[in-house]
């Protein structure tokens, strides 16, 4: 413990009453922005890689707003982990389209299907949004689970509560997003990655 | 280096009932806003937000509800951005206002409303305007927010 600095032999010294020594207070935070990708041109996919380095975080969240260049109304989007295109995913969703509510799900898929975003078939400037949570990303004792709320109220209207499972205990090092139609995310689509401490 | 975020911008706890609460001069340095409402209203309602004082029919919505017996979905347009559900029992609404400061896209709002004695709801809403949101008037819509109801606005960096 520093009890006194008054006997310092340094010249031009300044005695501080705080250990911040004149610096601004700082906080590492519990919910931190890690990376953002905002498309400057259309792209067939968006990838966050090197996620194994984020060892300070237990969970990840992706907040995104996107539109694709599909010519018909609306689009879905797919998510893969570690660029694994094997049949290692299960997904379910509960969706409402303005007329009815329905549920669907299936296993042994090559991606997690997520609903719903806008497309070039929708009114101009409309996008769809999503908030996607990926849990326990670095835990190698359990498979990875994903949940999301996503939707679009454009010409084609749909929103969904989505869940997904990646049947692998590998740590999540990479996350990949693709338009389900095989088209492109348009310019201005944004994907932001956040870390949540645990 | 990571950027700490999820920053509280403003919180109002009502000292008396009110038909609306306005968040003005909203900081433009964030990517998304999150509005959290915890409380009750004099009668069950779907509250709305009006952005930048726009009271035109420029807001479209789609929702799905489950009330314990039926699941339903509906859509429409309105004079404010409909979101969530609140009523006479303690309720919580969380609304995600995506890319509110962007000027190249319409604003999308994703919300969940939990009114335990009535229903649970999810909604997607769109404000058909590319302006950045500088103010948001949160309106109970044909009823009032009760005393003690808390409305909190957060900013999330992008």
* DSSP annotation string for B39-80: E-BSS-B--EEEETT--SS-EEEEEEEE-SS-EEEEEEEESS
Cis? peptide before A116, omega within 30° of 0: yes
Is pLDDT at A2 greater than 50 in this prediction? no
Distance CA B72, CA A97 (A): 10
- Mean pLDDT within B49-61: 98
Q: Give the minimum alpha-carbon distance from B18 to chain A in angstroms, rounded to a whole number.
A: 29
Q: Which of A98, A116, A129 sits opposite B98 (nearest CB)?
A: A129
Is pLDDT at B123 greater than 70 in this prediction? yes
Q: Give the minimum alpha-carbon distance from B153 to chain A in angstroms, rounded to a whole number.
A: 16
pLDDT for the residue numbered A74:
95
pLDDT in tens, A53-102: 999 999 999 999 999 999 998 999 999 999 999 999 999 999 999 999 99
Domains defined for chain B, CATH in brackets: 7-156 (2.60.120)
pLDDT class of A7 with cuts at 50, 70, 90: low
pLDDT for the residue numbered A136:
96
Is pLDDT at A166 greater than 70 in this prediction? yes
pLDDT for the residue numbered B2:
80
Mean pLDDT lowest for which of A132-136, A140-144, B71-75, B113-117? B113-117
3-state DSSP percent of chain A in helix, strand and coil, to 5: 0, 50, 50
Contacts of A124 (CB under 8 A, 6+ apart): none
pLDDT for the residue numbered A23:
61
3-state DSSP percent of chain B in helix, strand and coil, to 5: 0, 55, 45
pLDDT for the residue numbered A20:
58
pLDDT for the residue numbered B4:
78
CATH number of A31-196: 2.60.120
pLDDT for the residue numbered A1:
45
Residue A64's closest chain B neighbor by CA?
A: B98
Distance CA B31, CA B157 (A): 5
- CB of B35 closer than 8 Å to CB of B136: yes
Q: Which of B109, B122, B157 sits opposite A33 (nearest CB)?
A: B157
pLDDT for the residue numbered A21:
64
ipTM of the complex: 0.96
Is pLDDT at A43 greater than 50 in this prediction? yes
pLDDT for the residue numbered A68:
98
* Angstrom distances, CA of residue A183 to CA of A84, A192, B90: 20, 21, 44
pLDDT in tens, B72-114: 999 999 999 999 999 999 999 999 999 999 999 999 999 999 9
Q: List the single best residue of A66, A130, A153, A160 to mutate versus B (max B Cβ within 10 A).
A: A153
Asked if A96 lies within 8 A of B130 by C-beta distance, the reply is: no
pLDDT for the residue numbered A162:
98
pLDDT for the residue numbered B40:
98
pLDDT for the residue numbered A129:
98
pLDDT class of A19 with cuts at 50, 70, 90: low
Asked if B61 lies within 8 A of A153 by C-beta distance, the reply is: yes
Name the average pLDDT for chain B.
97
Q: What percent of chain B has pLDDT over 70?
A: 99
Render the burial of A80-89: b for 16+ CB within 10 Å, e for the rest: bbbebeeebb
Q: Say what the alpha-carbon torsion angle B20, B23, B24, B25 is, to the nearest 10 degrees.
A: 180
What residues does each domain of chain A span? 31-196
Distance CA A159, CA B62 (A): 7
Is pLDDT at A29 greater than 70 in this prediction? yes
């Amino acid at each position: 413990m520093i009890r006194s600095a008054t006997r310092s032999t340094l010249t031009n010294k300044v005695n501080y009453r705080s250990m911040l020594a004149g610096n601004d207070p700082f906080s590492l935070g519990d919910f931190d922005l890690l990376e953002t990708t905002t498309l400057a041109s259309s792209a067939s996919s968006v990838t966050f890689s090197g996620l194994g380095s984020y060892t300070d975080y237990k969970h990840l969240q992706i907040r995104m707003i996107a539109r694709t260049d599909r010519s018909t109304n609306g689009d879905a989007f797919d998510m893969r982990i570690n660029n694994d295109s094997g049949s290692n995913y299960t997904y379910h969703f509960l969706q409402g389209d303005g007329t009815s509510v329905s549920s669907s799900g299936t296993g042994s898929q090559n991606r997690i299907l997520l609903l719903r975003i806008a497309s070039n078939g929708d009114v101009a400037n409309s996008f769809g949004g999503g908030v996607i949570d990926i849990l326990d990303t670095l835990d190698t004792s359990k498979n990875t689970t994903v949940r999301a709320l996503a939707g679009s109220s454009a010409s084609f209207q749909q929103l969904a509560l989505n869940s997904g499972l990646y049947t692998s205990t590998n740590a999540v090092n990479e996350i990949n997003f693709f338009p389900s139609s095989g088209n492109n995310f348009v310019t201005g689509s944004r994907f932001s990655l956040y870390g949540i401490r645990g | 280096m990571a950027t700490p975020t999820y920053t509280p911008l403003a919180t109002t706890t009502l000292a008396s009932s009110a038909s609306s609460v306005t968040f003005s001069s909203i900081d433009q340095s964030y990517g998304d806003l999150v509005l959290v409402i915890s409380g009750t209203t004099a009668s069950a309602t779907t509250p709305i937000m009006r952005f930048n004082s726009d009271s035109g029919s420029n807001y479209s919505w789609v929702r799905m509800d489950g009330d314990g017996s039926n699941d339903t979905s509906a859509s429409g347009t309105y004079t404010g951005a409909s979101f969530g559900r609140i009523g006479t029992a303690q309720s919580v609404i969380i609304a995600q206002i995506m890319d509110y400061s962007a000027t190249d896209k319409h604003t999308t709002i994703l919300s969940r409303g939990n009114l335990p004695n009535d229903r649970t709801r999810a909604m997607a809403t769109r404000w058909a305007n590319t302006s950045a949101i500088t103010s948001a008037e949160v309106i109970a819509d044909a009823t009032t927010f009760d005393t003690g109801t808390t409305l909190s606005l957060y900013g999330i960096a992008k």
